[in-house]
Structure 1
């Protein structure tokens, strides 16, 4: 599942993913 555009999108969404992970962790695992 490694595609060039997927890699670029992942890099672009990395900051958002970090924030989302924090929110999800706080919401679902608190």
Structure 2
């Protein structure tokens, strides 16, 4: 296990998730 997940990464992921959620047509791209 590696501590690569930092607050910045978590926030970035959350922001992206919210963007996809609020997006009319969310592309299933990771």
The TM tier, using the shorter chain, reads 0.3 to 0.5
RCO comparison, higher one (Cα < 8 Å, 6+): 2
Question: Structure 1-normalised TM-score?
Answer: 0.48
Give the structure with the larger helix fraction.
1
TM-score (norm 2): 0.48
